[in-house]
Amino acid sequence: MEYLIKYITGENGLIPLIVMLSLSFYLIVVFWIFLYKYSKLQIMIMNEKESIDAILLGGKSVSEKSFLYQAFKDGSSSKRILDAFRRRATLRATTGLTFISIIASTSPFIGLFGTVVSILSAFASFDTGGQVSLNIIGPAISEALVATAAGIFVAIFAYSFHQIIQRKTYEFIANIEIQIDILFSRKA
């Protein structure tokens, strides 16, 4: 914990401080995107499931809460129009996933960069005149490894959240496709 405090207070230098601030910003952004997208997708999935239930109970069209409602508003929808709405729904549902993916892939490298700079700084501060023991090098290296640990920590959350949102997006799109299939199988 004391190593983390040294990073936060800037005792290890400017670069490690910037690295830790960047990783902190990444973590906040990842959680914000995840919480926002997850709650939105849950609502969208619930609306599509209600629409499927209404169709299966004999409804002629999707419910007003469904993403496909605009396509059926005028009463005549073709398969191509509904496919366009499905693609549009996919775009809307996957917004933000790219940024989470970028954070998941870059945060370990940012942490590694902070570690390398900290290790170089630690080696530069050792007295070159005498012998350096493990008692001197050990704490400096362990302080430097805090940045790598922080980068991996952020990446774990970002990757996990990316997978969860990707799965929820699949569920949302699958519910839209089910509605399209049901409605067109009734027309045939």
Q: Is the pLDDT of residue 176 over 60?
A: yes
Task: Give the rounded percent of residues in the chain with a pLDDT score beyond 70.
Answer: 88
Which range is most confident: 14-18, 96-100, 116-120?
96-100
3-state secondary structure of 74: coil
Count: domains in the chain: 1
Q: Is the pLDDT of residue 3 over 60?
A: no
Q: Tokens 């973590």: give the residue.
A: 27
CB 12 within 8 A of CB 121: yes
- The range of the structural domain enclosing residue 98 comes to 2-187
Contacts of 51 (CB under 8 A, 6+ apart): 62, 63, 65, 66, 68, 175, 179
Q: What is the pLDDT of residue 113?
A: 94
Q: What is the pLDDT of residue 177?
A: 93
pTM reported for the whole predicted model: 0.84
- What confidence tier does 52 reach under pLDDT thresholds 50, 70, 90? very high
**Alpha helices of the chain — where are they, by DSSP H?**
2-9, 14-56, 69-72, 79-93, 97-125, 134-187
Q: Is the pLDDT of residue 188 over 60?
A: no
Q: Is the pLDDT of residue 87 over 90?
A: yes
Task: Give the rounded percent of residues in the chain with a pLDDT score beyond 90.
Answer: 50
Q: What is the mean pLDDT of residues 2-24?
A: 75
